[in-house]
């Protein structure tokens, strides 16, 4: 009889942390950029998030709002690609069974949260992409045109509301997921978190 693995594969572990941190970063990014003024002067170089760490240079002048919106779209499309690959990986490499000491209701809650997170992880970038396509700007991926803007404000606003509301739902499930991981680590001390660690 084959021995059942208790850990996720290396690829699944790397994708989990890369996408998890990427999504948290995208929330902070989204909240940062929507507050940028619409009438700020255009520039050709931007000190990324005013952190003094990296200056991004362009070959044309754009407003800070346009620069950060384009960057949010580019990073978001990249994360969507990683999420699609992650789902392919999950379907071809089944996750190890949840640990035996978990109660039935805990297993049910963990499974429901995992499925909801997968769904929301697809819906949040997909709704962002749809919003961008129906706006007048379209999508450029790091300067490469991917989709023309259709300029339909009514449909754009529907996807904009979806992007915001899916974000709220995703944050609720992310909160449950993190609380669950903390409970297993500090209350049950059952090694659940180690299953998602490289070492
Ligand atoms: C990958 C996951 C993503 C996350 C977690 C995310 C998150 C966010 C958040 C938190 C906001 C601010 C919403 C608000 O409070 O007003 C936002 C705005 C926005 N996002 Fe995303 N986003 C993601 C992907 C994308 C993608 C792929 C695109 C487009 C290709 C996109 C396009 C936009 C645009 C255009 C806005 C500004 C909406 C406006 O005020 O007009 N997002 N996003």
Domains of the chain and CATH, by start: 10-32+66-196 (1.20.950)
Query: Which tens digit of pLDDT belongs to each residue from 133-156?
Result: 999 999 999 999 999 999 999 999
Q: How far apart are CA 194 and CA 129, in angstroms?
A: 35
Query: 25 alpha carbon to ligand 1 midpoint, in Å?
Result: 11
Nearest-angstrom CA–CA distance, 52 and 50 = 6
In the block, tokens 């002067």 appear at 41
Condensed to tens digits (0 to 9), the pLDDT of residues 55-72 reads 999 999 999 999 999 999
Please tell me if the CB atom of residue 123 comes closer than 6 angstroms to any atom of ligand 1.
no
What confidence score (pLDDT) does residue 1 get?
39
Distance (Å, whole) CA 55 – CA 52: 8
Average pLDDT over residues 170-190: 96
Average pLDDT over every residue of 91-108:
94
Taking the C-alpha atoms of residue 104 and residue 107, their distance in angstroms, rounded to an integer, is 5
Give me ligand 1 centre to Cα 162, in Å.
10
176 CA to middle of ligand 1, Å?
22
120 in contact with ligand 1, CB cutoff 6 A: no
Tell me the average pLDDT of the chain. Answer: 96
Residue-level pLDDT at 4: 58
User: What are the DSSP calls for 109-168, one per residue?
Assistant: HHHHHHHHHHHHHHHHHHHHHHHHHHSSS-EEETTEEEE-----HHHHHHHHHHHHHHHH
Q: Which of 30, 38, 75, when mutated, tests ligand 1's pocket best, judged by the most ligand atoms within 8 Å of its CB? A: 30
């Amino acid at each position: 009889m084959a021995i059942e693995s208790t850990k996720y594969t290396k690829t699944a572990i790397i994708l989990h942390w890369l996408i998890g941190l990427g999504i948290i970063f995208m929330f902070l990014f989204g909240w940062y950029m929507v507050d940028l003024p619409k009438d700020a002067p255009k520039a050709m170089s931007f000190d990324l998030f005013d952190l003094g760490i990296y200056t991004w240079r362009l070959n044309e002048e754009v407003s800070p709002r346009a620069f950060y919106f384009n960057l949010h779209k580019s990073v978001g499309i990249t994360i969507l690609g990683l999420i699609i690959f992650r789902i392919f990986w999950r379907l071809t490499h089944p996750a190890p069974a949840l640990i035996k000491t978990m109660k039935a209701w805990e297993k049910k809650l963990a499974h429901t949260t995992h499925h909801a997170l997968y769904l929301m992880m697809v819906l949040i970038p997909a709704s962002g992409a749809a919003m961008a396509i129906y706006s007048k700007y379209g999508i450029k991926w790091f300067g490469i045109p991917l989709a023309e803007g259709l300029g339909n404000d009514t449909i754009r606003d529907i996807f904009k509301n979806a992007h915001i509301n899916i974000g709220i739902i995703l944050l609720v499930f992310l909160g449950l997921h993190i609380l669950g991981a903390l409970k297993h680590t500090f209350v049950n001390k059952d090694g659940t978190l180690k299953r998602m660690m490289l070492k």
